[in-house]
Amino acid sequence: MQSLFGEKKIILASQSPRRQALLRQLGLAFDVVPSDVDEENHSGSSPEDLVRSLSLQKAAHVAARFSDALVIGADTVVVLDGKILGKPKTPDEAVAMLSALSARAHLVYTGFTIVDRPSDRSITEVETTRVRFRRLGREEILAYVRSGSPMDKAGGYGIQDDYGAVFVDRIEGCFYNVVGFPLARFYCAMQAFYTDGTSRRE
């Protein structure tokens, strides 16, 4: 995939090790330049609007630092009964989140944005996956929280974790979206974005 973009520098505006690993699966070489966009104080936004807006803000904020680059921004939220679950701030909040998700289905939304410099063309898309947890025992929830793994993850879990993997009973939709980045949709968006940009330059 890297060959699609020639010598174009690619920047990932995210510190997430999961997103970095997923992008490397596509053979992309990129630099990581985290955005300092505030992810809080977005009350009233729908989940789709929230991840769309934050991914765009993150990408645009980092893109402003470069004269020639493709910048990728992303944001993921977990939604249960219409309530957005972000990253738990305390272990007790992580326990509460996982207890609420137990034996229930929830939705995972990821928005991603690609911004080109210097043209400032951009594209933003959102992927949604439905995830169902099996019934969780309190002790396994506490053990997972003690591991520290839930603290940097929306909804307080990672489907790729040892524990997170066995919490999930089934999913409907893109698995990688639950990890934090919808690879297939991103790949197709990147191809379309580059092809459109090439045709405009010719």
178: left (phi over 0), alpha (psi -120 to 50) or beta: alpha
CB count in 10 Å sphere of residue 57: 19
CB count in 10 Å sphere of residue 183: 17
Query: 149 pairs with which residues across the strands?
Result: none
* Residue 75 among the catalytic residues: yes
Cα–Cα distances in angstroms (integers) from residue 71 to residues 89, 100, 188, 191, in the given order: 28, 36, 16, 15
Active-site annotation holder among 38, 75, 116, 162: 75
Of 105, 73, 98, the C-alpha closest to 158 is 98
Burial of 45 (0-12, 13-18, 19+ CB in 10 A): middle
What the block records as the tokens of 153 is 């993850």
**Cα 22 from Cα 151, distance rounded (Å):** 20
Answer yes or no: are the C-beta atoms of 20 and 31 closer than 8 Å. Answer: no
Residues labelled catalytic: 75
